[in-house]
Chains A and B, each alone.
Chain A
């Protein structure tokens, strides 16, 4: 788990409300512009923490609506599909860590760009997630994932 995630998890465990839009000091965080968007961002962060840090499908389900439409190709549909994916993460990559790099919200959609490392010494993967919300709960998910390449045509990093 990265330092920023430790802080995030600790803050959540203490029930502290994190300032909306604050991710990590180095992130060009976008400030959410409505209270509903700020709440959606917080819920998306909480779902991420439930999946990748707590690896707790019951916790994750708290943030989901009555339906959860899954578009990620390697995850089965619905809440049960997500629960199986979380169980796989816990069983197969117990050292997995993540860092949310960017997060923006508009209307009922939230996008996250994040860095996930299956093991501490791996280069890891870059992910974009889009979550659709209905009445404050996540009801649909899209994703793109790429392994972070060893080399790049530019010197800027992928994040």
Chain B
């Protein structure tokens, strides 16, 4: 999987190409969809860095659509619901950390495979999140997660 951060450069290059095209030289569909996929992924990664890397709620809110729909049964609906969840998280787990191991983007939906540690000494939880991205903002969120178990039937790790 290409490093998503490296692909920011690709996004910028393709956007330049798209901007330079005239009406008689339509930009290819492939280039346009690649830009959209990577741009949506970039929004999710930027949101993660703000919300869960810096634990900066004000910055994180900029990435949330006003009509943000929450499906995580542990979190209240909307931007305000996310804010309350975030305040609980950052106050009880100020050393929270996460790693995004892979990201999948298509058709306005972005999935991220995340290892989170509420505390540095935790074994951690594996979560798969999905976001619907609309016009550069996160509009909807789904998640399923599991604590990393002490034992497994295979030796490959949960993530």
Contact = CB atoms under 8 A, between A and B. Distances in A.
B107 A104 contact: yes
A77 B156 CA distance: 8
Contacts of A146: 144-146
Contacts of A156: 69-71, 77
Nearest to B148: A73
Interface stretch (A2-10, A29-37, A44-52): A29-37
A144 B146 contact: yes
A92 interface: no
- By secondary structure, the A interface counts as loop
| Chain B contact patch, size range | 35 or more
A137 interface: no
A109 B102 contact: yes
Contacts of B107: 21, 29-33, 104
B154 A145 contact: no
Contacts of B73: 148-149, 151-154, 158
Interface string A127-146: 11010000000000010111
A157 B69 CA distance: 10
A126 interface: yes
B142 A154 contact: no
Interface string B68-80: 0111111111000
B84 to A, nearest CB: 9
A107 B130 contact: no
B37 interface: yes
A118 interface: no
Contacts of B74: 153
Contacts of A159: 71, 142
B78 to A, nearest CB: 8
Given A71-B154, A127-B144, A142-B113, A37 B71 contact: no
Contacts of A29: 107
B155 interface: yes
A110 B157 CA distance: 19
B39 to A, nearest CB: 13
Contacts of A109: 1, 102, 104
A153 B159 CA distance: 28
Contacts of A113: 130, 142, 144
A37 B108 CA distance: 15
Interface of A: 21, 28-33, 37, 69-77, 81, 102, 104-107, 109-111, 113, 126-128, 130, 142, 144-146, 148-149, 151-159
